Amino acid sequence: MNLNYCECAVKRADRKYKVIKYLWILSSIYLIFMNIVFLPRLTFSLVILLYVGALIIFWPNFSAEYEYVFCDGQIDFDIIRSGRKRKTLHKIDLVDAEIICGIYDDERLSKYNHKFVYTKSFLSGMNYKGAYCIILRQGAQFAKVSFEPDERMLNCIKNKKPRITFPIDYEE
Whether the pLDDT of residue 41 is over 70: the answer is no
- 3-state SS assignment for residue 32: helix
The fraction of the chain above a pLDDT of 70, given in percent, is: 85
Tens digits of per-residue pLDDT, 113-131?
Answer: 767 888 888 888 777 778 8
- 3-state SS assignment for residue 20: helix
- Rg of the chain taking only CA atoms, in angstroms: 22
Whether the pLDDT of residue 11 is over 80: the answer is yes
Average pLDDT of every residue of the chain = 80
Tens digits of per-residue pLDDT, 54-84?
Answer: 777 777 667 788 899 999 889 999 998 877 7
Q: Quick one: pLDDT at residue 16?
A: 66
Q: What angle do CA 86, 92, 97 make, to 5 degrees?
A: 155
| DSSP states of 41-88 | HHHHHHHHHHHHHHHHHHGGGG-EEEEEEEETTEEEEEEEETTTEEEE
Distance CA 112, CA 97 (A): 12
Residue 3: which pLDDT band, with cuts at 50, 70 and 90? low
| DSSP states of 78-134 | EEEETTTEEEEEEEEEGGGEEEEEETT-HHHHTTTTT-EEEEEEE--SS--TT-EEE
Q: Look at the pTM and tell me if it is higher than 0.95.
A: no
Residue 83 backbone class (left: φ over 0; alpha: ψ -120 to 50; beta: rest): left
Distance CA 150, CA 10 (A): 9
